[in-house]
Amino acid sequence: MTIPGGKLIIRDVNTGSSTTLERRIHNRLGIAREGFPFVGIGLGLALLFLFLGLLFLAILAGALTLFVLYFFRDPERQVEIQEKAVLTPADGRVLGAWTLGSGENAFGTKAVKVSVFMSLLNVHVNRIPARGRISKILYRPGAFFAANLDKASEKNEQNAVFLETQDGRTIVFVQIAGLIARRIACWVREGDEVEAGQRFGLIRFGSRLDVYLPEGSLVAVQPGHSVKAGKTILGYLP
């Protein structure tokens, strides 16, 4: 895949054993496992400050811990699947939808791009947009511009996931790091069979998802719309 702004290189962004990745994908704890270290650090600091009699710092550390719990929340969602529907892979706000030329996307022909911006207040667990097979995963290092800027799609660190649907269509969804995001987590591997609405990754602290649909796809959202991963229909394949 060619994404404007540089050449993509292959890198394994899946960390941990298959069992570890499965636990993240099928998480039932209500909080993403990536948040556990931050919660532990926050609680430890709060208890330390309380023990030392530093009440203000203890309260501050406790408040930050509560925010971390909120940020890493991972709610269960019931997915309703419609024929040819593509679900949004991220919670957030639609930045826009564009028709791209053959040299600006992965398909070699015209394609449709839809971008979703995730603020600090959105759920940051990402979900698979349609049933199919992961055919390719490509990672590219980059900058950390604010994720709501157009140049973030071109310049920022990103991880592109290629999905082949059951009827032979290809969807590409790209996890893009934001201004203060420094960690892209991807829990699926090339060759995995996946279901619509299944968890597949997470981006820490503000980010963006770009979705590339094949030519002729119908976009079902408008700029400014609020969307939910695994719930909102982003568009329909041709």
Catalytic residue among 115, 153, 207, 217: 207
Instruction: Return the H-helix or E-strand segment holding 97.
Output: strand 92-100
CB 144 within 8 A of CB 205: no
Whether the CA torsion 48, 74, 17, 162 is positive or negative: it is negative
Burial grade of 38 (CB within 10 A; 0-12, 13-18, 19 or more) = middle
207 annotated active-site: yes
Other C-beta atoms lying within 10 Å of the C-beta of residue 208: 26
Query: Which secondary-structure segment (H or E) carries 133?
Result: strand 132-140
Secondary structure (3-state) at 101:
coil
Catalytic residues: 207
